[in-house]
Structure 1
Amino acid sequence: MLPYTLVRDADIVWRRLRRIGKWIRRHKTRTFALIVGSWLTISLLGGHAIMAFAADGEGIQSLPFLSSLNPKDSGGVDLLHYVFLPVDRGHPITSPTNFFVTQIADPIWMANIFGLSWGMWFLQFLITMEWVAWLTTPLEAIFKLIADAIAQIGWVTTGLIIAGIVVTVAFFRGQLATGMTKMLISLGAFALAGTVLANPVGMVTGPDGLLGKARAAGGAIAASIATGDASLLNQAPSADVSKQIVTDSLLGQVMDAWVRFPAQEVAFGHILEGQCAETFNKVMMEVGPLETGGNKVLDAIKACDPAAGEYAMHPTIANAFSAGIATFGSQILNLLAVGLGVILLIAIGYSVFSVGKWMIANFAVVATSDIRPGGVAWSELSSV
Structure 2
Amino acid sequence: MQTFPFRHLNPAGPAYRRGWVDEAVAAIEADQCRTADTHLIRLIVPALAGIDIYLKDESTHPTGSLKHRLARSLFLYALCNGHIRERTPVVEASSGSTAVSEAYFAQMIGVPFYAVMPRTTSAEKIAAIEHYGGNCHLIDDGRALYAEAGALAARLGGHYMDQFTFAERATDWRGNNNIAESIFTQLQGEPRPLPDWIVMGAGTGGTSATIGRYLRYRQYPTRLCVADVEHSAFFDCFSSQDRSHVCDRPSLIEGVGRPRCEPSFVPGVVDRMMKIPDAATIAAMNVLSRRLRRAVGGSTGTNFLALCRLASDMRKVNQTGSLVTLICDSGERYRQTYYEPAWLKARGLDPAPFEAALSSFLDTAHPLALEFEDVTNPQNLLNPEA
Q: Which TM bucket (shorter chain)?
A: under 0.3
Larger Rg: 1
TM superposition score normalised by structure 2: 0.19
Structure 1-normalised TM-score?
A: 0.19
Name the structure, 1 or 2, with higher relative contact order (CA <8 Å, separation 6+). 1
More helix by share: 1
* Bigger strand fraction: 2
